[in-house]
Amino acid sequence: MTQITGIDVSNYQGKIDWQKVRASGINFALIRAGYGNDIKQKDEAFDANVQGALAAGLKVGAYWFSYAISAADAVKEAEVCKKVIAPYKGKLSFPIAFDYEYDSVTYSQKQGVNPSNALTDSIARAFMDSMKADGWFISLYTNIDFIKSGMFSAPTIKAYDVWLADYAGGADYPCGIQQTGSTGTVNGISGNVDTDVSFKDYSAIICSGGYNGYRKPQNFRCDTSADHFLTLGQSYQFKLTSTVPLTVTVGTAGVVTLLHRYTSGNDTFYYIVGIGKPGAAAGIYVNNSKQFVARIK
């Protein structure tokens, strides 16, 4: 894809005129959600920045600055981050980044912890794995020095996209986003701002993949979505159309029996038979997505 330009901001940029930012050619923004492991450390400008950027038509992601000194601490940070960004599920179409920097190391040292590579790697994985488990598309913000020194392991870097801070021309390490500078000027922002370039169509990746609260597009069609009432022993047939194999399940056991009838081309026919007590109900799921409800009358 064509490279697209962006910025990353926090409350340090003050009040931002996002309409002017968009008019200047900026296409996406990575916005600091907060830092540390306390909800009080939410970035005070986060909501205003996210809402302003979205209203102006920018693609938006977020990042969390880490001061974690252990993997357990990193999980606490992730839980706070989830709470901060939860209101924007289905609206953030760029990655959520874990931001661990030299200041993070300095803070650990002041707490009496001199972080080894193994420790920093476990901190990063703990945060990112926790976020990923909740369906967020996660990236790792890092730099060439950290990569060369082994601050994060090869498996960790392979598992997550990299947002690379590299101000010397083109990216010196494969990455999805490159932070290209820290002294950029953009109309609508007073003072300097970090500038970025994205090499991937993250909006397409995240939306089509069902990340960040977006609903993953279905690759099948069901011929019904209405509730269906069955008496004991009564059956109902439904049809699924798909070019790929599907997994069909019943949400509550003991209500209906699900049986495969036959397949013809891209159409597969199933039927359910009522076996439960009156008033019982069960969802019929295809690839973990509820299609309709069967009720016993």
Comparing CA positions, the residue from 65, 58, 81, 52 lying closest to residue 198 is: 58
Percentage of the chain surpassing pLDDT 70?
99
pLDDT in tens, 59-94: 999 999 999 999 999 999 999 999 999 999 999 999
Position 193 scores a pLDDT of 97
Position 289 scores a pLDDT of 84
pLDDT, mean over the chain: 95
Position 208 scores a pLDDT of 84
Position 215 scores a pLDDT of 82
pLDDT in tens, 144-165: 999 999 999 999 999 999 999 9
Percentage of the chain surpassing pLDDT 90?
93
pLDDT in tens, 22-59: 999 999 999 999 999 999 999 999 999 999 999 999 99
Position 196 scores a pLDDT of 98
Q: Which of 49-53, 204-208, 286-290 has the lowest mean pLDDT?
A: 286-290
Check if 4-209 and 220-296 are the same fold.
no
Greatest CA separation found in the chain? Answer: 73
pLDDT in tens, 89-127: 999 999 999 999 999 999 999 999 999 999 999 999 999
Q: Answer yes or no: is pLDDT of 1 > 70.
A: no
Main-chain dihedrals φ then ψ at residue 276, nearest 5 degrees: -90, 180
Position 75 scores a pLDDT of 98
What is the arithmetic mean of pLDDT over 198-226?
Answer: 91
pLDDT band at 218 (very low <50, low <70, confident <90, very high): confident
The domains of the chain are located at 4-209, 220-296
pLDDT band at 217 (very low <50, low <70, confident <90, very high): confident
Distance of CA 24 to CAs 15, 20, 187, Å? 17, 6, 6
pLDDT band at 297 (very low <50, low <70, confident <90, very high): very high
Between 265 and 287, whose confidence is greater? Answer: 265
pLDDT band at 273 (very low <50, low <70, confident <90, very high): very high
Residue listed under structure tokens 């901060």: 84
Q: Tell me: domain 220-296, CATH 2.60.40.10, correct?
A: yes
| Contact by Cβ (8 Å): 5, 196 | yes
- Tokens at 120, concatenated: 């920093």
Class of domain 4-209 as given by CATH:
alpha beta
pLDDT in tens, 2-12: 699 999 999 99
